[in-house]
Structure 1
Amino acid sequence: MSEWKIDQNIKAAFFDADGTMISFATHRVPESTLVALRELRQNGVKCFLCTGRAPYTVEEVPLDSLEAFILFNGQFILNRDGILYQETMDKADIATIVGQVQDGMYQCLFMTAERMFVSGHDDLVRSIEAKVGLTYEEDDPALALDADIYQLNVFLEPGKTDVVKRACNSIKMTRWTREFVDVFPRGGGKDRAVRKVLELYGIAPEEAIAFGDGGNDLGMFGVCGTSVAMGNGNPEVREQADFVTDDVDRDGIYNACVRLGLIGC
């Protein structure tokens, strides 16, 4: 296995969940990834989860090997001492989206700090449930009007999301899969969250590395000094990464860490 050369001493590593840390095939974290995380921690590298998932949907992740957790694509950050940062969506935008859902324009997954619920099931919802190994509870979208919503999954395929973008004033969208777009506050995203975490832990951006596979990972790629795309990643992610490793199911994280000299082989 040939080595990859980097100039900086890596002190922090950020990992996406689905398709990076968690296999789409098994819905589990590969054993080689668990080994890599343990060895990184032993070598003094602080490891962080950076995902669009909610805090109640990360049971598969090895929490003991991680320093802190960036959730809802950056809208909720916590470590073992408590919540470090949180931001919810604009109530007017939630009302607009609830109205569009009630008009039958699309299905939507609403995420609060305690639970998530979907407005209904269509082919796109069922497809992503199978992909990530989760089943979404259905409930009345009007419940979102009085809730603190951190993030939405709007189930519209590429090229069809302008109906949401034009109607809302304070949202940002990012996509990692064809089934839906992540929707969250305009100033949010993984890039801002990674900057906040690095600042809190006193680590320079050039001393950080990011691992990802989807479009919502490009923000953290832009912040961290080194970026690694999974072999199973989207084409634009592989193109923009500094390095491309193997697929998640072929020891991608472990192999990258070895080639970068972050852990032993």
Structure 2
Amino acid sequence: MKEKSVIFFDIDGTLLDHEKKLPSSAKEAVFKLKEKGHEVAIATGRAPFMFEGLRRELEIDTFVSYNGQYVVLQGEVIYANPLKAAALEQLTKAALEREHPIVYMDHEDMRANVPPEHKYITESISELRLDVSPAHDPLYHQGRELYQSLLFCPEGEERFYEETFKDFDFIRWHPFSVDILPSGGSKAKGIEKITERLGFSKGQQYAFGDGLNDIEMLTHIENSVAMGNALESVKAVAKYVTKPVDEEGILHGLQMVGLL
């Protein structure tokens, strides 16, 4: 049997298929990993409240959320890196002038600064197939710690924000939506908080992902696995490429690296 390892899984396009369903083979694989004594964790751009059901189903209490800004180890928050409030206020003003909505997000909820029926908001958030949706509160960003926000603008229009607001990183995840993150934040940095606490060596760390926000994670983790449905730029940085998510990609990848 392999030595005890820690395995980080992205959610969308990795654990969940394109219908946002968890393949039975992936679920069984996760429980087999745990039976073998491995630590299983999630590393996602989602907010904690967006994958509570999945955590319960897989009995996982260790996760990196908000692309590394809010990290929980065995049920305990061990790292939080909020957005800079003053810079977010300035970005909000600029976005309103350009008619680009924002959804503010903390660890418990999300609120839109315009009526959430806005086309850009409904079309992008609906693709996540969540049980929750943002309500309207233009002042939600004031007086609370936010770990990520969503900027809604057509492709290319985020360049203005990238050039103007250096306190943030912007990662596009939908034709109408961009993640706003603290500058320099990433899944890789969030993962480090967990691996340092648990004492896993580089060789004991594994990660599976498929999207642009997984590139730093897959570059940082020695045993990195890109899904077969991943972007080519993601596959290029991974050590291994498994089958697509809807072709038992998780199970195949775990067998490929020798964990199952």
TM-score normalised per structure 2: 0.90
Runs of 5+ unmatched residues, structure 2 = none
Q: Which amino acid aligns with 1:66?
A: I
Seq. identity, %: 27
Going from structure 1 to structure 2, the CA distance change for 1:24 and 1:122 (only over 3 Å counts) comes to farther
The residue aligned with 2:100 is 106
The residue aligned with 2:44 is 51
Which aligned pairs between 1:121-140 and structure 2 lie closer than 5 A? 121-134=117-130, 136-140=133-137
39-48 or 170-179: bigger deviation: 170-179
Q: Which amino acid aligns with 1:196?
A: K
Which aligned pairs between 1:71-150 and structure 2 lie closer than 5 A? 71-119=65-113, 120-134=116-130, 136-150=133-147
Which aligned pairs between 1:17-56 and structure 2 lie closer than 5 A? 17-25=11-19, 27-56=20-49
Shift of 1:258: 1.8
SS in 2 for 1:23: coil
Going from structure 1 to structure 2, the CA distance change for 1:148 and 1:62 (only over 3 Å counts) comes to closer
CA separation in 2, counterparts of 1:260 and 1:143? 44
CA separation in 2, counterparts of 1:55 and 1:124? 23
Shift of 1:151: 0.3
Residue-by-residue CA offset, 1:173-196 (whole Å, 9 max, x unaligned): 223443322111113111111111
How many residues in Structure 1 have an aligned counterpart in Structure 2?
255
CA separation in 2, counterparts of 1:28 and 1:177? 19
CA separation in 2, counterparts of 1:257 and 1:177? 29
Shift of 1:145: 2.4
Runs of 5+ unmatched residues, structure 1 = 1-7
2:242 to 223, 245, 250: 245
Going from structure 1 to structure 2, the CA distance change for 1:213 and 1:195 (only over 3 Å counts) comes to same
The answer to whether 1:207 aligns with 2:204 is yes
Residue-by-residue CA offset, 1:73-97 (whole Å, 9 max, x unaligned): 1111113342111111101111012
33-42 or 160-169: bigger deviation: 160-169
CA separation in 1, counterparts of 2:187 and 2:244? 22
228-237 or 121-130: bigger deviation: 121-130
TM-score normalised per structure 1: 0.88
Shift of 1:262: 1.1
CA separation in 2, counterparts of 1:10 and 1:114? 32
CA separation in 2, counterparts of 1:108 and 1:138? 12
- Contact 1:47-1:65 within 8 A present in 2 as well: no
Shift of 1:234: 1.7
CA separation in 2, counterparts of 1:133 and 1:261? 33
CA separation in 1, counterparts of 2:25 and 2:196? 30
- Contact 1:109-1:116 within 8 A present in 2 as well: yes
Going from structure 1 to structure 2, the CA distance change for 1:17 and 1:207 (only over 3 Å counts) comes to same
- Contact 2:43-2:187 within 8 A present in 1 as well: yes
Q: Which runs of 4+ in 1 moved over 4 A?
A: none
Residue-by-residue CA offset, 1:233-263 (whole Å, 9 max, x unaligned): 2221122222221221221101111222211
160-169 or 182-191: bigger deviation: 160-169
125-134 or 143-152: bigger deviation: 125-134
